[in-house]
A and B are shown apart, each in its own frame.
Chain A
Amino acid sequence: MQVDKTELAREFINLVPQARALQLEITEIHDGIAVIRMPYDPALVGDPDTGVIHGGAVSTLMDTCGGAATMSHPSNPGGTATISLRIDYLRAATPGQAIVARAECHHVTRSVAFVRATAHDDDPDNPVATATGTFTVEGAT
């Protein structure tokens, strides 16, 4: 029987305490692409005047998604760690809506994986944030 890779990744992310605390859910993962959803949670609000989610939670979502994309890339045999991450906040996410990140590991060398990511709420044509990141390639000699 074929083991579903997405199912495996879901189980894997459930073992990460901070991912569980943010209720992150992998909805897609294959060939260097990962999509992760973070439901709206009042505990994650960064601006009490507006109810907008804190950028820090978006950082964790983007970082997790970038790492997952890197690990799902065919030429990356092992785990990964973030080297650097840059996030541009394009607009405030709409309070009450989930944030979905999509990361693409677009280039992998022997040592470094390069990732681009975007995040959006219920309006997929109008992203809330974009990110670029570099991640380690483990198992490289």
Chain B
Amino acid sequence: MNRRPPEPVQVVKQRRDAALTALAGRVPYIRFLNISFDRRGDELTGVLNYDDKLIGNPELPALHGGVTAAFLEVTAIITLSWGLLWEDVESGVLTLDALEAGELPRLPKTIDFTVDYLRSGLPRDAYARAHVTRSGRRYASVRAEAWQDNHDRPIAQAHAHFLMPRKEG
């Protein structure tokens, strides 16, 4: 009995990155805010790439609170979806061709979203990570936090509930 040799690293990376690009890349609002995702293994960090149009208080200046909330919500949704997708990407159930053709599960729907503002957002890039506290068959509970220069000085935190997409078949 021969064990299957592990896949070459570039094949694994290519499939994972294609899944992430397919997931986040097809949402117009993520492009509107110019949010990208850094991936290390299965861990995602959202990056809000600074642009002058994200400002909400031109006098300070500071990021719009709504943008910070939206950034946290986007990071929460993509992290939650990524968790659902991960196993199928790893097992090869979702092929590269299928991903590129946009064959992805539906996105979770936000039920409620609560954001606490801790510091004003400076006019520069921001980062966010979401932690899925529970991902059930119908509902999910997610925490998220955003920071800029220092991870231990968060600018906002959020918690939210989501309605999960129905599994087909």
Contact = CB atoms under 8 A, between A and B. Distances in A.
Contact of A89 (B57, B109, B116): B109
Interface stretch (B27-35, B87-95, B133-141, B143-151): B27-35
Nearest to B59: A79
A84 B107 contact: no
Contacts of A98: none
Interface stretch (B7-15, B37-45, B64-72, B124-132): B64-72
Given A43-B28, A45-B27, A54-B27, A87 B113 contact: yes
Interface in B11-29: 26-29
Which 6 A-B residue pairs are closest in the complex by CB-CB distance?
A: A56-B70, A60-B66, A54-B29, A18-B64, A63-B66, A59-B69
A47 B107 contact: yes
B27 A21 contact: no
Q: Name the interface size band of chain A.
A: 35 or more
Interface residues of B, number: 37
A82 B117 contact: yes
A19 interface: yes
Interface of A: 15-21, 42-49, 53-57, 59-64, 67, 79, 81-89, 92
Contacts of A82: 65, 117
